[in-house]
Amino acid sequence: MTLLDDRERARSLASPLYGDRWVQDHAALPVSAPPVSARGGGALAVDRDVVPLDGEWLLAGAPAGREFAIERWFAGPRPPAPVGWHRPDTDRSDWIRAAVPGTVQAALTAAGEIPDPLLHDHTHAELVAHGAPAEWPWHFRRTRVEEQQWWYARRFDVPASWLGQRVRLSFDGVDDAASFWLNGEPIARHSGMYGGPDIDVTALLRGDGTDEIVVRIDPPPRDWHGVLKPSPGWGWHYGHLISMGIWRAVRLERVPDLELEDLFVSTVHAAEGAARIRVQWDLTAHTDGCAAPTRIRVLDPDGTVVSDVTAQVVAARGTSRHAVEIDVPDARLWWPFGYGAQPLYRVEAAVDGSARTASIGIRTVEMRALPEVSGDDVYDWRFVVNGRPLFLKGANWCFTDPMARRGFDVDRHILDLCVRANLQMLRAWGGGTVESDAFYDECDRRGILVLQEFPLSFGLDATGATLATVDAQASRIVRRLRSHPSLVMWGGGNENPDTVSGDDLLTVIGTRVRQYDPTRPFHRTDPWGGSEHYYGVYHEGHPVEAYATHVPPVFGEYGLSSQCDLDSMARFLDPALLEQWPPPAHGAILQHQAQFSLFDLFKQARYAHYGPLTDWATFVEYSQLAQGDALRFASERLRAHAGTRTSAYWFYKVGEVFPGASWAIVDYYGRAKLSYYRARQFGAAQSAFAVYDRTALEAGEVLSAEVHASNDTPHPLTATVSARLYDARFGVIAELSASVDLDADAHARAFTLDAELPDDGPLVLAVYLRDADGARISSAWYALNAQPKSAEATAIEALPLDELADRPIEELLAPYATGPASLKEQPRTRLEARWGDGVLRVRNVGDVPAPLVLVDGFPTAFGAWLDDNAFGLEAGEERAIAFALAGATWPDARVRAWNADAVEVSA
C-alpha cells in the first residue's frame, strides 16, 4: 500500500505545473556540498546596510477609475476616470498621515475620517446605507473604503555614499494588489500580501532629499475564493473588514556584489549531547563569478561559539545554492513545552559584505501511523518529536489584528494563556493569515508547535485565481519560516474540497513546500486524510452527545459560539443596549454576533439552558459554560484513545480577530472566557477524566462512565483516581477509586463507574487524580441532567434550523426564559475566600460540595492571568489559585458558587 503522504509528495514533485518562472527555476537550483575547514576568529559582521522607510506616509483615496473601458463605446453609465497621483507634481497638501506598517482603515480611523469600523454599529450602518452590491446581504457588501483605490506617498533621502551603488527597495507586505512608482516612473506591479516586491532602484535615485515613492493599492476582489488573503473580513463569519494597505515593513537596502540569502537550517540528527545540523544558503553574484568562502558559526543558547567553519565556495554569476552539515557538540534539544526546555541556538553565515542569521532549535519531527488507523486515504498522524510520540492538545489560532494597529502584545498575551492552558499545538487556521516572524519567535521561545496553513478557505476559484501570485507568495512564505523549530507542519488551507477543474493552486503550493522545505509534511487541506471538522453540534442543532460518534485521528475543528463578558461588550457598544432582553435588532448587536444575526442567540441558548435566560449577564455566563462543557465532552473522548486511534485535537478556537460573540475561548481584548478555564482543566498534562455517551438520563437507566488517567509528561506517575456520583441532594449514588502507575506519555482506563439512577434529577460526577501523598493533581466536575427541557423547548428544538431562522428572536428565546435552574437549586453551601502568599485561597466550609465555583471581577490586562475558574470543591476542600495582575487592579474580587452566595475576598 502506498501511503497518502508518499503519493501526494510524488505527485507534487512530478508535476510540471508552475505559476512563476523565476520561482520554478529558483526552487530547482542544484545544491553543492563545498569542502569545509575549521575556522577560528572573531565575531561576524551581520548587520545589513538599510534605510528603514517605516513611519509616517501620506494617504488619499480615489474611485477605482478606468481610462479605457468597454462602457466608453456605448451610451450608458461610464466608470470614473482614473487619477494620476503618481506624478511628482501632485498636490498632496490635503492627504492624511498614515502609519506604515498599517492599514488604510487604521489610518482613516486615526485621522478621524471614518468612525472605528470595529466599534458600535459603524460597519453595519456603512454597509446598510452605502454597501455594494446593494442586492447582497448587508454583511457581504463592500464599504466605500473597500471600493476605492488608495494612494500612499513618501519622500526620503539616501546616504550620499550609496549613490552609484546597487540599491534595492523592498516591501515585506503590501495588501494586496498594488502598483509602484519612484520619482514618477513606474517600477513594479505586484499581487500578494506576504512579501514583495523587491525592486532595483539604483538608476532612479536622486539622493537630494526629493526622492518619492508612490504606491497605489487596488480595491480587493469581490470574492475571497482562491485569493491568498485572510477571508473572514469578506463577511461570511463574525466580522467585516477587508484589509488594505502597506501592512509590513518597507526599506531601502544597499546590495553588495556578492549577496548571501535564504539561510535555512534544519536538524539532521538530534540526541542529547550530540546533534548534526544542515546549513543551506544561496549566493547571488551580481558580477562575474568569484571565490566566495562562506564562514558559518554556531552559537549555543549562552552565546558560546560551538562551531566555526568556512565552506570553500566558488560562486558563479547569478544565484547558486550550497549546503554543509555541521556537528554540534554537547547539543541541547528543543522540546515542546512540558517535555523539556527550548534552548535556541544562533547560526550565522557570511561572505565578504553580506551575512544572515537564523535562530534555531535542535529537534526532529516525524509522522508515524497510528496503530488503529490505516488506509491509503489516511495520513500518518502520530507526531513524534525527538523520537518521543506525543498526544497533542491544541486549538485553532486566528489572527488578532485586522487593522494592523495593535502591536504584538495581544498575541504574546494569548500565547502565554495557551501555555498556561497546556495548548501545545496551534493550527494557524487557513481562514486567517500567515503569521509573523514575531509570532514564530514567541512560539520558538515557548515551545508551542504550529501547523501553518496557507490562507485559502472554503474552496478554490479554478478560473479566476492568479497562479503566478500564489506560486511566488508560497515561495516567499516557506523560505521565511522554514528554520523555526515551532513550525512542524504545512497545510494547504481550510476546508478546500476537490475542485471540478483540478487542484492547480494546491498542487503548486505542495510542490513549493516540498522543494523548499522537505523537512516537514504538507497536508493538502484540513479536513483531509483522516482529520475531521464537525459542526453538527451548533450549526445543525445536534445535541452535544453527537460528539460521541466523532473520534477521528485528529479533530481539526469543533465547538460552540459564546458571548464575551459584559466588560468587553461595553468596549464596543453602548451598554444601554444590554439592558433589554431579548435584545433588539440594533446594528451594534448584529455587527458583533457570531454570524450577523440574533438567530445565533437561539443557537447558543439550545446548549446554555442551565436555567432561565432572562438577561444578558446570565446568558453570557451560561453560553461560556456551555461552550466549555461541549469542548470537554468532545476533547476528552479523543484523549481516551490517545496513541492508538487519536493523535491530537485542535478545537475552534483560542483567540479572536473581531470583537464580539465567537467560537474563541479568549476574546478580542484578551479576556479569558469561562470556557478557557474549562479547556485548561481538560487539557492538563496529568489528568483524570470521565467519558460517557449521554448527558441526560431517566430514572432507572444506567450511567456508564469510563474513568481514565493521562500522563502526558516525560516522567512516570503513580497516583490514585477516584470518582464519586452525587444525586440532586448530594447523596452518593456510586463511588470508585483505583491506583494507577503510568509510564511517561501513557494513559490508562482506571475503571468504569456504572450506576442505576434513582430519578431523573440533576447528577454531579466528581473525578479526582491525587498523588501518593493525597494531594490533588487534577479534578473534573461534570453535570448531567443539568438542562431539563420544557415541552416548548423540546418542540422548537425538534424543528430544522432552516425553518426557524426567520422567526422573531422573542419567539425563539421564549421557551428558554422559564424552567428550573437545577444546579442552582441543589443544597446550599458556604465559601470563604482570602488572599494569601500571592494566591487566592478558596475554601468550601459547608457540608455539601460546590460543583461550580466562580471567581468574579478578574481584570483584563495583557500579561494578567488567573490559574483556574469554574472549578468544583468537595465539602471542606480548599484550593489555592495563583494569579498575576500585570499592573492591573482587582478591587471587586468576589467568589461564589451556583449553590453558594458570593463572598468578598478578605485579607
| Per-residue pLDDT reduced to its tens digit, 750-802 | 999 999 999 999 999 999 999 999 999 999 999 999 999 999 999 999 999 99
Which segments of the chain belong to CATH 3.20.20.80?
388-564+624-681
Residue 865 pLDDT exceeds 60: yes
Which segments of the chain belong to CATH 2.60.40.10?
257-365, 686-786
CB-CB contact of 147 with 245 (8 Å): no
Of residues 632, 708, 646, 680, the one with CA closest to residue 383: 646
| Per-residue pLDDT reduced to its tens digit, 707-735 | 999 999 999 999 999 999 999 999 999 99
The CATH code for residues 388-564+624-681 is 3.20.20.80
CATH superfamily, domain 50-253, is: Galactose-binding domain-like (2.60.120.260)
Cell of 416: 502565554
d(CA 205, CA 90): 19
Cell of 778: 487534577
What is the identity of the amino acid at 106? A
Report cis status (omega within 30 of 0) of the bond before 197.
yes
How many other C-beta atoms can be found within 10 angstroms of the C-beta atom of residue 795? 11
pLDDT at 465: 67
CB-CB contact of 426 with 449 (8 Å): yes
Fill in the DSSP letter of residue 336: -
**What CATH number does domain 257-365 carry, 1.10.8.80, 2.60.40.10, 3.60.150.10, 3.40.50.10490?**
2.60.40.10
Average pLDDT, the chain: 96
Q: Predicted confidence band at 838 (pLDDT cuts at 50, 70, 90)?
A: confident
Handedness of CA 171, 174, 179, 182 (dihedral sign): negative
Residue 44 pLDDT exceeds 80: no
| Per-residue pLDDT reduced to its tens digit, 662-687 | 999 999 999 999 999 999 999 999 99
* Residue 494 three-state SS: strand
pLDDT at 462: 63
pLDDT at 43: 73
Show the beta-strand stretches assigned E in 588-657: 648-651
What is the identity of the amino acid at 52? P
d(CA 123, CA 240): 7
| Per-residue pLDDT reduced to its tens digit, 196-230 | 999 999 999 999 999 999 999 999 999 999 999 99
Of residues 566, 776, 779, 769, the one with CA closest to residue 659: 566
CB-CB contact of 265 with 277 (8 Å): yes
- Rounded to 10 degrees, what is the CA torsion of 593, 662, 624, 800? 70
CA angle 890, 891, 895 (to 5 degrees): 80
Query: Which residues lie below 8 Å from residue 161, measured CB to CB, with a gap of 6+?
Result: none
Q: Predicted confidence band at 849 (pLDDT cuts at 50, 70, 90)?
A: very high
**What CATH number does domain 686-786 carry, 3.30.930.10, 3.20.20.60, 2.60.40.10, 3.55.50.30?**
2.60.40.10
Of residues 374, 438, 434, the one with CA closest to residue 398: 434
pLDDT at 1: 42
The CATH code for residues 831-904 is 2.60.40
Q: Which residues of 270-306 are buried (b: 16+ CB within 10 A; e: fewer)?
A: beeeebebebbbbbbbeeeebebbbbbbbbbeeeeeb
What is the identity of the amino acid at 420? R
Mean pLDDT, range 414-442, rounded to an integer? 98
How much of the chain, in percent, has pLDDT values that exceed 70? 99
d(CA 35, CA 484): 27
| Per-residue pLDDT reduced to its tens digit, 567-591 | 999 999 999 999 999 999 999 999 9
pLDDT at 212: 98
3-state per-residue secondary structure call for 68-120: CCHHHHCCCCCCCCCCCCCCCCCCCCCCEEEEECCCHHHHHHHCCCCCCCCCC
Which segments of the chain belong to CATH 2.60.120.260?
50-253
| Per-residue pLDDT reduced to its tens digit, 135-174 | 999 999 999 999 999 999 999 999 999 999 999 999 999 9
Show the beta-strand stretches assigned E in 255-339: 258-271, 274-285, 290-291, 294-299, 305-311, 314-315, 318-329
Fill in the DSSP letter of residue 545: G
d(CA 679, CA 420): 10
Residue 239 pLDDT exceeds 70: yes
Burial of 424 (0-12, 13-18, 19+ CB in 10 A): buried
Residue 843 pLDDT exceeds 90: yes
Q: Where would I find the H helices in 798-866?
A: 809-813
Mean pLDDT, range 175-188, rounded to an integer? 98
Cell of 347: 547560526
Q: Predicted confidence band at 67 (pLDDT cuts at 50, 70, 90)?
A: confident
Sheet (strand 365-368) strand order: 365-368, 382-385, 388-390
d(CA 109, CA 103): 10
CB-CB contact of 726 with 849 (8 Å): yes
CB-CB contact of 785 with 697 (8 Å): yes
Q: What is the DSSP string of 405-467?
A: -S-SHHHHHHHHHHHHTT--EEEE-TTS-PPPHHHHHHHHHHT-EEEEEPS-BS---TTTS-H
Q: How far is CA 869 from CA 542, 603, 677, 882, in A?
A: 28, 25, 6, 11
| Per-residue pLDDT reduced to its tens digit, 471-500 | 999 999 999 999 999 999 999 999 999 887
Q: Which residues of 804-826 are buried (b: 16+ CB within 10 A; e: fewer)?
A: beeeebeebbebbbebebbbeeb
d(CA 698, CA 784): 11
pLDDT at 399: 96
| Per-residue pLDDT reduced to its tens digit, 305-323 | 999 999 999 999 999 999 9
Fill in the DSSP letter of residue 526: B
